[in-house]
């Protein structure tokens, strides 16, 4: 039992935040950032339908055995009511009527 504690290694964890608006990656700092430094969009998302805060999801990548890179991204759907959190374009753009469109 003493051998397993001496062989235990510490895992280096690096955490990045990905913006949902501009897809920029930002390293997490202390205190945690609330807004994207590139475009100013908020990292927190709220569901308009059920009025709950929606947590970010993460993906992990292990480049080495003792190193973990975790990237948090904003959710696209609410886990409570399954409504979409992304703004969808329902109206057709007026580019078709633009005289300069080629």
User: What are the pLDDT digits (tens) for 49-97?
Assistant: 999 999 988 999 998 888 999 999 988 889 899 888 876 554 455 555 5
Nearest Cα residue to 29 out of 21, 40, 37: 37
CA distance 7 to 50: 48
How many structural domains comprise the chain? 1
Structure tokens at 99: 């005289």
Whether residue 85 lies inside any domain: the answer is no
Give the SS3 label for residue 6.
Answer: helix
User: What are the pLDDT digits (tens) for 2-36?
Assistant: 444 444 578 888 899 998 888 899 988 788 888 99
CA distance 24 to 37: 9
Whether residue 20 lies inside any domain: the answer is yes
Whether residue 56 lies inside any domain: the answer is yes
pTM of this structure: 0.65
């Amino acid at each position: 039992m003493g051998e397993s504690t001496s062989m235990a290694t510490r895992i280096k964890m690096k955490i990045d935040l990905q913006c949902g608006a501009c897809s920029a990656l930002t390293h997490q700092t202390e205190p945690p950032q609330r807004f994207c430094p590139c475009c100013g969009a908020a990292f927190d998302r709220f569901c308009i339908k059920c009025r709950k805060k929606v947590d970010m999801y993460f993906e992990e990548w292990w480049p080495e055995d003792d190193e973990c890179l975790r990237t948090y991204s904003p959710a696209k759907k609410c886990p409570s009511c399954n409504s979409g959190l992304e703004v969808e374009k329902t109206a057709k753009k007026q580019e078709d009527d633009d005289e300069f469109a080629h």
